[in-house]
């Protein structure tokens, strides 16, 4: 069973770059799945950020497209998120997840990591 684990700094300064990595185990990142990031500000709902295929093809939420980059590292079986020019509004729990099948279900999730911009 595939497992995902987020890692990265818990605290980022305003105007800095938020960088997170999602390590994939129990499966290959080169499989025919999208790999995605979702965030959740404290006490609020879920927000889909973007996704990447093993080929490097990406889709992003339009509101963050100018600041966001998601990439894949097949040699390390992981994918990453970089969000530039962060503000306090980017404070959230960030989840990585696998998107499976033609129904595009988010069937495996990381535990989430809280990133505070301050």
Partner 1 sequence: DIQMTQSPSSLSASIGDRVTITCRASQNIANSLNWYRQKPGKAPNLLIYAASSLQSGVPSRFSASGSGTDFTLTISNLQAEDFATYYCQQAYNTPRTFGQGTKVEIK
Residues near partner 1 (CB under 8 A) are: 36, 38, 45-48, 51, 59-62, 95, 97, 103-107, 109-112
Max distance between CA atoms of the chain, in angstroms, equals 40
Choice between 16 and 67, CB closer to partner 1:
67
Rounded least distance, CB 14 to partner 1, Å: 25
- Bridge partners of residue 112, in order along the sequence: none
Contacts of 74 (CB under 8 A, 6+ apart): 29, 30, 54
Choice between 30 and 63, CB closer to partner 1:
63
Strand locations in 53-101 (E): 58-60, 68-73, 78-83, 92-100
Rounded least distance, CB 12 to partner 1, Å: 21
Choice between 84 and 109, CB closer to partner 1:
109
């Amino acid at each position: 069973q595939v497992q995902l684990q987020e890692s990265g700094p818990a605290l980022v300064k305003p105007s800095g770059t938020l960088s997170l990595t999602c390590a994939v185990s129990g499966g290959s990142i080169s499989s025919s799945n999208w790999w995605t990031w979702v965030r959740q500000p404290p006490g609020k709902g879920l927000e889909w950020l973007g996704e990447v295929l093993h080929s490097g093809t990406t889709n992003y939420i339009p509101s963050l497209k100018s600041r966001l980059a998601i990439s894949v590292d097949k040699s390390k079986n992981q994918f990453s998120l970089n969000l530039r020019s962060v503000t306090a509004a980017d404070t959230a729990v960030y989840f990585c997840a696998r998107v499976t099948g033609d129904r595009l279900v988010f069937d495996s999730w990381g535990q989430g990591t809280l990133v505070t911009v301050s």
